[in-house]
Amino acid sequence: MTDGDPDGSSGHTLPVWVTVAAVAALRQLRGEPFQREETLELLRPAGRRRLPVEQAARLGNGEALAISRCDPGPGLDLTRGLAVWVRAGWGPRPSDTGGPIRLQAGAGVGRQTQDGAICISAYARELLEANLLPLLPPDRGLELEVTLPDGQDLAQRTSLAAFGVVDGLALIGTGARVQASASPDRLGQALDELRQRAAAPGGCRELVLVVGENGLDLAPQFGLAPDLLLKTGNWIGPLLAAAAEARVERLLLWGYHGKLLKLAGGIFHTHHHLADGRAEVLTALAALEGLPPGALATLFASPTVDAALRGLAATDPALEQRLRRRIVTTIEARSAAYIERCSGQRLTPGVALFDRSRQLWAVGPNGAAWFPGVAP
């Protein structure tokens, strides 16, 4: 069933199922017969895989429609069974548009609040291009519209709004396979990759531990080299200790402030099913900065970390700035203490946090060294 992809049991990310449907729709435009499976180049990991198509047909207006259905593999994933519709039509010549493939967000597909653009990762675009361009006639462009009929409802159960994504699910992912962030298998994969880097010539002297797909997608935009990135999932503590044991000399923690805030409270597995405590940690740190009791109660009752911080910034911006510094400084100190306790090694990681607008929110004293010109 596979060719160059031995892990047949692994599920696939939403960009893969979008690409499956897009390829099937393009084949209909080309007049080819419908096939129940399409073979994709997955890119990351390299290899080819045959994946199912639910249906595809030509439409009466010179367009085609194909449907695939998400199969993320074992584990909890809200995209399981999600229908993916891709409508395809011939577009202007590539020389007239600057690119052969134009992608539009249909119903249920997330858009960026800043500009209304479709929310899609670099990997998702690369995957589409790698599989569609070989099928595209040289004198034609291709227009695609992706629709996720249940996408808007499902998005309400995610934290996408915290990252400025509205109207539906984002087409994000940095690889073909689903990696459950809370699964012990995910920790094992990350530890294996770290050991491989440490065993390579020159070792692993610098490392960026990244929490979440958004962080992985955003990191290169802030100058963090892709070859230094290692996705942690929620298993931050064991990877901190493993980094020290692997003789990493320079370490950065990179993630969303509403997630990594837990580390300031000594919580080093960040999945919300196991531990939360964000309201308590934030309130305690704000009390140390001198926030009065009434304001502390308001802060504690805020529905999200982002809402709490925005409310504080509106009422006492100077204190909110001090609180930012305290949060990142505390995370750096608690992480260093965790590393020494668990590994016996001395290593103080830097910390850099981004906010819901995907902007750099705060860097710690050690984290600042990773971002020239940014003050801690």
Q: Which residues contact 243 (CB under 8 A, 6 or more apart)?
A: 194, 204, 207, 209, 251, 339, 347, 349
Q: Is there a contact between 331 and 315 (Cβ–Cβ < 8 Å)?
A: no
- The phi-psi region of residue 73 (left if phi > 0; otherwise alpha if psi is between -120 and 50; otherwise beta) is left
Quote the DSSP letter at residue 54: -
Residue that is written with structure tokens 């607008």 in the block: 357
Q: Which residues contact 1 (CB under 8 A, 6 or more apart)?
A: 8, 49, 50
Q: Is the pLDDT of residue 5 over 50?
A: no
Q: Is there a contact between 104 and 167 (Cβ–Cβ < 8 Å)?
A: no
In degrees and rounded to multiples of 5, residue 335 shows phi and psi of: -70, -40
In degrees and rounded to multiples of 5, residue 38 shows phi and psi of: -125, 145
**Which amino acid would we find at residue 122?**
A
**pLDDT confidence of residue 77:** 67
**pLDDT confidence of residue 103:** 93
Q: Is the pLDDT of residue 275 over 60?
A: no
Q: In Å, how far are 26, 94, 138, 207, 346 from 133, measured between CA atoms?
A: 10, 11, 9, 35, 50
What is the rounded radius of gyration, in angstroms, for the C-alpha atoms of the chain? 23
Q: Is the pLDDT of residue 30 over 50?
A: yes
Quick: pLDDT tens for 59-71: 988 899 999 999 9
Q: In Å, how far are 128, 234, 266, 278 from 275, measured between CA atoms?
A: 38, 11, 11, 9
Which position has the higher pLDDT, 74 or 125? 125
**Which amino acid would we find at residue 114?**
Q
- Its pTM surpasses 0.75: no
Q: Is the pLDDT of residue 223 over 70?
A: yes
Residue 310 CA to chain centroid, in angstroms?
23
Which position has the higher pLDDT, 322 or 233? 322
Which position has the higher pLDDT, 125 or 158? 125
Structure tokens given for 363: 């860097």
**Helix residue spans in 302-352 (DSSP H):** 305-315, 317-343
Q: Which is it for the CA torsion 107, 109, 110, 111, positive or negative?
A: negative
Residue 323 CA to chain centroid, in angstroms?
26
Q: Is the pLDDT of residue 24 over 70?
A: yes
Q: Please spell the DSSP secondary structure of 158-170, one letter per residue.
A: SSGGGGTEESEE-
Q: Which residues contact 339 (CB under 8 A, 6 or more apart)?
A: 240, 241, 243, 244, 345, 346, 347, 349
In the chain the domains, ranked by start, together with CATH numbers, are 2-169 (3.30.2110.10), 184-370 (no CATH)
pLDDT bin (cut points 50, 70, 90) of residue 152 is: confident
**pLDDT confidence of residue 271:** 56
* Average confidence score pLDDT of the chain: 85
* Integer Cα distance of 170 and 14 in angstroms: 9
Q: Which residues pair with 88 in a beta bridge?
A: 64, 144
Which of the given ranges, 158-162, 269-273, 352-356, has the highest pLDDT on average?
352-356
